[in-house]
A and B are shown apart, each in its own frame.
Chain A
């Protein structure tokens, strides 16, 4: 027989932090009219971001990692090659399609994140790394941009999920399975 009190503690913590969304406001840091206007617009931008990037869902994912591991991360990515396609004429580039750019925010596990072991907080770390798994086709689509050298490198990269990598590192001379090196 066991009373799972851990579950209740974790669920209570989740209830505590998820019950109300944080109330975020943008304020001007001086009395300059431009800053006052920028603060109003910034407030709109953050409200849009919260709805557009579904911060309510991100909060749930964050809490799931935070409660079980004590750490969680919001990983922000900006890509100028995505977003709404606009006619370049109004931006001084007739005949071209210009992308508005797009951001992506994801709540990720601390197991994916690596920072300097000497840093006492994240912002003091000189670097941060994120490791994730990607299918070869998705990697080609995301990174190759048609460059045959990158496509070749991605196709020749040893895969994971099988035991070929471990075979190679453990036994050295054992040839890799052909599927990974095709």
Chain B
């Protein structure tokens, strides 16, 4: 069957013919005894008033089997704002804020009208006393004749005082609207600490929770529909481009650019799978609040900002992940570590290498350790697994030696020796030596003993791919 691809094509010489109205009708499957046990899809043309002709009808392609039953069939997903119990259609925010907005506008208009009257009020002058009439104003609407006994001189007409209820009603309307607005627009509020920002964020999450939950539930339903349709219809393989995660985020793929090409068909996604949406993922997060958290965590000593994995997490949290190359020298280390995983898997390649004088061993250890836990690693050839485990063991050994070296250096410094990059300043030397994960280039004297013991086949420093 041929489904409707709606819309008017560009450059279509249809103006003389006009347009017709299409109605696509999708019927869900019913039970085995029902009139339409498998459902159907039909398209009719006509006008808003009546159906002219049914031009297409066929099987329902939007169903799938679940526990032996045919389910689905509508092929569309509903997104809503404010749920109403017992009703399919959701309410809109506009519906609820329209009446306070109308009230606010009315009161604002009344106040401004009053202000205009006060600012340019009319004059009253005694009947027959027109000597100064035109010198006050040429606007006849502002000039009133009054009885002569009131005064012999022209006077301002005082408008009545603004009733208080007008002001109060305006304030009430504004406060209702501010309550709706405030959880999402707090840019004017100034936070004073991480805790303050956290409280603001918490309030925002609480108030927006139901809305985000609805939104994510709908995305989940749509994603599952996409998966089921792929499982049902994509019998012929299709070439897809999968975006790769940036380096350092656990992509573990060979470096073929930012996209990799795959051929997938229905058989590749055959299985009991489900798409899920991370709760709260659509909530905006305050980078400022996160920054305050990090600063307070580091200040209190709960977070060690020098640790490579912590630094990487920090960059991700600040959404600087893609700028890691600018902000840190670790990006190449992450890429090298991932490339080493690729080399270890391919037995035709040489054994992967690390160079402790150049590479950040902490980063390498973290990347290998994380990968060793994955199912992907468990599916590898045993020889390839051994190669990566060997490499991980070597890196761990080197890290231990670095730590031991740092201890020795501290002991030497405590004895008054001046060793290492710190020169005559013992504090500098100590700090340089114990920096976790830092390359050991600054301490040539101490590292030369095992600077070459880095790899199984001693082929020299690692060349990034």
Contacts and interface: CB of A to CB of B under 8 A. Distances in A.
Interface of A: 1-6, 8-10, 12-13, 15-17, 19-30, 32, 34-39, 41-42, 44-49, 51-52, 62, 66-81, 83-84, 86, 91, 98-101, 103-106, 110, 113, 115, 119-139, 141-145, 150, 153-162, 165, 169, 179-180, 182
Given A28-B272, A128-B76, A160-B19, A71 B90 contact: yes
Contacts of A134: 4, 6-8, 19-22
A28 B77 CA distance: 23
Interface string B165-178: 00000000010010
Given A34-B270, A78-B3, A104-B5, A45 B230 contact: yes
Given A27-B276, A138-B8, A154 B236 contact: no
A103 B25 contact: no
A68 B208 CA distance: 18
Given A20-B283, A25-B275, A78 B184 contact: no
Contact of B274 (A27, A121, A182): A27
B285 to A, nearest CB: 7
Given A129-B23, A134-B20, A157-B52, A115 B88 contact: yes
Given A76-B222, A165-B47, A120 B87 contact: yes
B262 A44 contact: yes
A135 B229 CA distance: 29
Closest 7 pairs between A and B when the two form their complex, measured CB to CB? A70-B92, A38-B271, A159-B18, A35-B271, A135-B14, A12-B184, A48-B240
Contact of B86 (A120, A137, A141): A120
B398 interface: no
Contacts of A66: 79-81, 92
Give the interface size bracket for B toward A: 35 or more
- Interface SS of chain A: mixed
A119 B74 CA distance: 13
A129 B223 CA distance: 21
Contacts of B28: 125-127
Contacts of B24: 129-132
B381 interface: no
A32 B230 CA distance: 20
Nearest to A72: B79
Given A42-B227, A67-B92, A120-B88, A27 B273 contact: yes
A6 B284 contact: no
Contact of A165 (B49, B234, B274): B49
- Interface SS of chain B: mixed
Given A75-B76, A122-B74, A5 B177 contact: yes
Interface in B67-86: 74-82, 86
A142 B4 contact: yes
Interface in B142-187: 174, 177, 180-181, 184-185
8 contacts: A38-B270, A68-B92, A76-B76, A100-B236, A129-B23, A131-B21, A143-B55, A161-B19
Contacts of B93: 9-10, 13, 67, 70
B45 A74 contact: no
A4 B230 CA distance: 45
B55 A154 contact: yes
B95 A1 contact: no
Contacts of B220: 24
B20 A70 contact: no
B268 A143 contact: no
Contact of B2 (A37, A132, A133, A143): A143
Interface stretch (B97-105, B309-317, B413-421): B97-105
Which of B6, B81, B220 has the most A CB atoms < 10 Å from its CB?
A: B6
B9 A122 contact: no
A16 B184 contact: yes
B255 interface: no
